[in-house]
Every structure is written in structure tokens, then in C-alpha cells.
Amino acid sequence: MIAWPMAELLPHAGDMILIDQVERFDEEQIHTRTTVRPGGLFNRADGSLPAWLGIELMAQSVAAYAGCHARANGQPVELGFLIGTRKFECDVEHFPAGAELHIHAQRSLQDDNGMGVFECHLRGAGIHASARLNVYRPPQAASYLAEAGPEESSHD
């Protein structure tokens, strides 16, 4: 298992971090895990998580992949964006409280402009979900966000 705290790998904070641990990673993939705990931001009344949250768990695993590579290369962790999801399939309506979920993200494409595609699978006892995530990490995220902000209007 990787000893880096998730808060040092993801550009998220507090209750927005849904992944518990990076189990392992290499140049092409990452394996993460989390346990569904009641009382979080997205939990249903019975403590479970809605299945659509599997997309966020996969996206955070991809972000952890980028964070692990940044840390391993002595670089800062930068912001990335989930551009789209294709073929999300899940065989359950929710992930029950206490379920241990294992997420695997495999890089299938990444270019020099920051675009990437990852094949993702989420598994637990009686649970399987999969999706293809399209992601974008701008070369200089801070300047990218400053450029994308609303333009100031001038009044004469």
C-alpha cells in the first residue's frame, strides 16, 4: 500500500475525499479502495451510497493516479477535470454501508495536451461497475482557471 495521505494526492479536502487508500500504482494503472461509511455528504438515509457515485469514486482514483505520479516526480498535485463518462454500468442501485470497494483505473490514452482516457472498474461483494472516463489536466491549471473566469465588464 502507498503511505501518502489521500489529501496529499487529490485536489480535494475533508468530506469530499471518498477514497481511503491507494493500494498500488504503476505507469499505466492504479488500484484504490474505500469502505462505505454512513454519515458522509452523499449517503442515503440507510448509510448506503447511490450507485451513480461510482463515477466519482472512479474519477478520484484517476486523480490519485495523477497525484501519485506528481508526488513520485517531486511535482505539485494539480487540478484535473472529468470531461465525460461513457458506458457507465452498475449491477446494483446502491453500495451498502460497510461495503469495501476496490477501484481499478487503467490508462488507455494520454496525450501531451493533458487529455486522457481511463478504463475503470469498481468491485465489491456482489458489486461490479465499469465506465470509461475522459479526463483533462491542463498544463498549468492555475493559469487555465484564471483565463476561463468571467470577463470584467466596464461601465462608461
Output the tens digit of pLDDT for each of the chain's 156 residues. Answer: 788 889 889 888 788 899 999 999 999 999 999 999 999 999 999 999 999 999 999 999 999 999 999 999 999 888 889 999 999 999 999 999 999 999 999 999 888 788 999 999 999 999 999 999 999 988 766 555 555 555 554 454
Q: For residue 21, report the phi and psi dihedrals to the nearest 5 degrees.
A: -155, 145
Looking up residue 132, the CATH number of its domain turns out to be 3.10.129.10
- Is residue 152 assigned to a domain? no
**pTM for this structure?**
0.87
Residue 58 in any domain: the answer is: yes
Q: Is residue 155 in some structural domain?
A: no
C-alpha cell at 116: 486522457
With respect to residue 93, please indicate whether it lies within any of the assigned structural domains: yes
Give the pairing of strands 127-136 and 81-90.
antiparallel
Question: Does 151 reside within a domain?
Answer: no
Residue 116 lies in a domain: yes
Task: Give the C-alpha distances (Å, rounded to integers) separating 71 from 24, 28, 68, 95.
Answer: 14, 16, 5, 31
In a domain, 31, yes or no: yes
* The predicted structure's pLDDT at residue 20: 95
Residue 121's nearest CA partner among 62, 58, 27 is 58
What's the N-to-C CA distance of the chain in angstroms? 60
The reported pLDDT for the residue numbered 31 is 98
DSSP single-letter state for residue 54: H
Domain that holds residue 70: 6-144
Q: CA-based angle 63:65:68, to the nearest 5? A: 110
The total number of structural domains in the chain stands at: 1
Query: Within a domain: residue 120?
Result: yes
